[in-house]
Amino acid sequence: MVVCAALVVGPNSSVFTPQELAGKLVALDYGNGTAYAGLLMLEGAMAGESIVTCAATSHGGDRLAALKRGEFEATVLQEPWIAAAEKTGCRVVSTTFFHGTWVADRSVSPEAYAAFLRAVTRAVRRINADKRTYAGYYLRDFPGHPELAGLTPDDFDLNRIQLKEPSPIPEHEARWAWEWMSSWGLLEGRFDVGTQINRRVEREAHAHATVSGG
Amino acid sequence: MQLTIERVIAFNGLDVLVARDEGLFEAEGLDLRIAVPAPEEMRSSADGTLSQPVTNQGLLVDRGEAGMFQG
């Protein structure tokens, strides 16, 4: 799964570009991929000392509500909260995408993981063939949430819904992610691919995960 | 075969949810189960800091109650 993350400001904000967030408070749900995507977007737009963040709830709807109350200048959101934000006048000032990465313990067999991958691959093909129909899933997760009132599958920008058939994580990407996390003090030590990725299980699973047709 | 994963929602697991709802795991002979921590166990990321984040990801894997989570 590829996740879209967006830096969003309120309807009356004077900020139109990510650079204009320098020195302004940005709420991030530390510990979640979306937060680090937000941090990456900020890092690409300003010097490190200009990045000012605070901890926020991992519930995107609650972050959006707090943004509208003016508790911070911007926050990072994922769907369905990006669509909800835009529908209510908030503005996206930057977007990025990142891979969700499956983390498995030693109990997961190559056979079970391969079956999982085959099923997910078929699902990816079905979704990519008809994204509008499946956009409704984003609304099902939060039934009755007031920030989603009036939102329909037609409100979603389908370009933000990106799915890729699962594949092994390239070592250079895993290394880059480790080193980037280390640069923010989140990890210690050097990256060691042998302790982070069980290539034998990964290789066996993907070798049995080939899916033909839909 | 059985596999238990930690909960996903659409933004990070639309493919998994569709595969579950449309019987694609079952068709592969996989009994996929999605585990959810008890509400009282859930910790808020608002209580963390940048260098010491608070997250629920991996909670059930750490306890041996799930085999995979999406990070």
SS3 state at A129: helix
SS3 state at B25: helix
Chain A residues with CB-CB distance to B19 below 8 A:
119-120, 122-123
Q: Which of residues 41-70 of B touch A (CB under 8 A)?
A: 44-51, 53-58, 61, 64, 67-70
Contact by Cβ (8 Å): A56, B45: yes
Nearest-CA distance B37 → chain A (Å): 15
**C-beta atoms of A119 and B29 within 8 A:** no
Contact by Cβ (8 Å): A6, A94: yes
Chain A residues with CB-CB distance to B67 below 8 A:
104-105, 107-108, 112
Q: pLDDT category, B33, cuts 50, 70, 90?
A: very high
Which of A94, A86, A53 has the alpha carbon at shortest distance from A157?
A86
Tell me the C-alpha to C-alpha distance, in Å, between residue A132 and each of A97, A135, A146, A159, A209.
19, 5, 22, 11, 27
Measured between CA atoms, the residue of chain A closest to residue B55 is A31
pLDDT at A213: 64
Q: A76: which strand partners?
A: A7
Contact by Cβ (8 Å): A111, A208: yes
pLDDT in tens, chain A (214 residues): 899 999 999 999 999 999 999 999 999 999 999 999 999 999 999 999 999 999 999 999 999 999 999 999 999 999 999 999 999 999 999 999 999 999 999 999 999 999 999 999 999 999 999 999 999 999 999 999 988 989 999 999 999 999 999 999 999 999 999 999 999 999 999 999 998 888 888 888 888 888 876 5
Nearest-CA distance A71 → chain B (Å): 13
pLDDT at A199: 87
Question: Rounded CA gap, A100 and A76, in Å?
Answer: 16
pLDDT at B2: 96
pLDDT at A149: 87
**C-beta atoms of B49 and A140 within 8 A:** no
Nearest-CA distance B48 → chain A (Å): 6
H/E element holding A91?
A: strand A91-99
Q: List, in sequence order, the alpha helices (H) in A44-109.
A: 60-68, 81-87
Contact by Cβ (8 Å): B8, A137: no
Tens digit of each residue's pLDDT (9 = 90 or more) over B2-29: 999 999 999 999 999 999 999 999 999 9
Over residues B51-71, the mean pLDDT reads 92
Chain A residues with CB-CB distance to B16 below 8 A:
1, 120, 123
Average pLDDT, chain B: 94
A128: exposed, middle or buried (Cβ count in 10 Å: 0-12, 13-18, 19+): middle
Nearest-CA distance A14 → chain B (Å): 26
- Any chain A CB within 8 A of the CB of B10? yes
Query: Which residues make Cβ contacts (< 8 Å) with residue A192, sequence separation at least 6?
Result: none
Measured between CA atoms, the residue of chain B closest to residue A137 is B10
Chain A residues with CB-CB distance to B46 below 8 A:
29, 55-57
- Any chain A CB within 8 A of the CB of B29? yes
- Using CB atoms, pick whichever of A30, A78, A113 lies closest to residue B49: A30
Which of A68, A69, A79, A61 has the alpha carbon at shortest distance from A2?
A79
**C-beta atoms of A137 and B57 within 8 A:** no
Does the bond joining A153 to the residue before it have cis omega, within 30 degrees of 0? no
